[in-house]
Amino acid sequence: MAEINLFLLFLGSIGFDLSIGDPRFLIHPVQVIGFYIKKISDYLINNFRENKKILFWGGFFVAITTIGMSFGLGKLIEISYVQSRNNFFSGLLIFFGLSSCIATKGLISSVKEIAELIEREEINDQNKRIIKDKVQRIVSRDVSSSSLEHLLRSSTESLTENSVDGIFGPLFWIFIGIFFMKFSIFLPGPLSLGFSYKAISTLDSMIGYKHDYFRYLGFFSAKIEDIFTYVPSRLVLITLPLVSPKINEYGSIIKKSYLDGKKYDSPNAGISEAIFAYISGIKLGGKSKYNNEIIEKPIINETGDYCTGEKIKLICQLILRLQFLWIIIFALIFYNFNFNLIIN
């Protein structure tokens, strides 16, 4: 059946991402999505920055068209694959497409590299500039005047928040798409939902801010991202303790993480940061600089330790373990559902 082949392509794409990451010889979908978002957004900002109403509805147009085109492209490839009875070329497009939706290797490698650079015994001005440049690529805050301690915290907060946006959110929606395809090829499938979630995540990271004209331009993008990340972030909350040494503290860790995470304006970012913070025993939150303004984020795990390179490596291990657990759970659900269909 087509859905079985899609599930195998899904598993293969995860293995490809873990081992190879994003191939440099391929244009990443995010590059195309980002180019479109930037062109339309720049036009709206340059011409209508004082008109809140145009920015508001322009942001709606940017969000809907970006998600719609991403979904449509994925759906066309899925239909082509199924109707051609598992055509090799269409299967290859799905394989690389699904792999591009997951960012495990890229996310972990970039943060690990920063941690290792900071932990070197000798850090001169040149090395510090290199570290700041690398951190600035993965965070939206201004780290130009940050201390090494703050750079480690910034990297850790980016890692814990983006683990949902870049890994577990796509995994969840891709699996939902595989499940839907069991009923009809015209329902949302793994690639169409994977591309859609990637578009939603990119929209939020590019224009989903609450300052200046972005509070109007990015309003819909931010809200849509909140909705589609709501379930994956809470699944991370309840499953991460299962792959940690603190499984015996399961109930209390989830409760403390949820209460601390709720302090954040975002309904999802705080929760994902909090569960990683409590399990790894670190303290997150505090002062950060955004657009020349100091923002005080709520403190998560007040009694936790400062972020270190070792803590970052532990979080990376937890991410890999949790991804493996999710794959096992998905496989068991998929197998049981197919088995029940056969015997009935």
Span 296-335, pLDDT tens digits: 889 999 999 999 989 999 999 999 999 999 999 999 998 8
Indicate if the pLDDT at residue 167 is higher than 80: yes
The better pLDDT of the pair 24, 152 is held by 152
The better pLDDT of the pair 88, 123 is held by 88
Indicate if the pLDDT at residue 86 is higher than 80: no
**Pairwise CA distance, residues 23 & 16, whole Å:** 10
The number of angstroms, rounded, from the C-alpha of 26 to the middle of its chain's C-alpha atoms is 20
The better pLDDT of the pair 276, 84 is held by 276
Indicate if the pLDDT at residue 1 is higher than 70: no
**Mean pLDDT of all residues belonging to the chain:** 91
The 10s digit of each residue's pLDDT in 39-66 is: 999 999 999 988 999 999 999 999 999 9
- Tally of domains in the chain: 1
The pLDDT value recorded for residue 201 is: 96
The 10s digit of each residue's pLDDT in 200-215 is: 999 999 998 877 888 9
pLDDT bin (cut points 50, 70, 90) of residue 125 is confident
The better pLDDT of the pair 77, 141 is held by 77
Mean pLDDT for the stretch of residues 57-83: 96
pLDDT bin (cut points 50, 70, 90) of residue 219 is very high
The 10s digit of each residue's pLDDT in 147-163 is: 888 999 999 999 999 99
Torsion of CA 305, 127, 166, 266, to 10 degrees: 50
**Pairwise CA distance, residues 233 & 271, whole Å:** 7
The pLDDT value recorded for residue 92 is: 93
The pLDDT value recorded for residue 177 is: 96
Mean pLDDT for the stretch of residues 83-93: 87
Q: Check residue 168 and report its DSSP letter.
A: I
**Pairwise CA distance, residues 159 & 316, whole Å:** 8
Of 157, 165, 159, 110, which is closest to residue 301 (Cα–Cα)? 157
pLDDT bin (cut points 50, 70, 90) of residue 88 is confident
Mean pLDDT for the stretch of residues 65-73: 97
**Pairwise CA distance, residues 298 & 279, whole Å:** 18
**Pairwise CA distance, residues 298 & 244, whole Å:** 25
**Pairwise CA distance, residues 81 & 93, whole Å:** 9
Are 216 and 55 in contact by the 8 Å Cβ rule? The answer is yes
Of 200, 37, 178, 202, which is closest to residue 94 (Cα–Cα)? 178
Domain that holds residue 133: 2-343
Q: What's the predicted TM-score (pTM) here?
A: 0.93
pLDDT bin (cut points 50, 70, 90) of residue 18 is very high
Indicate if the pLDDT at residue 344 is higher than 70: no
In residues, how long is the chain?
A: 344
| β-bridge partners, 288 | 295
Indicate if the pLDDT at residue 342 is higher than 60: no
Tokens of 337: 């559902």
Indicate if the pLDDT at residue 340 is higher than 80: no
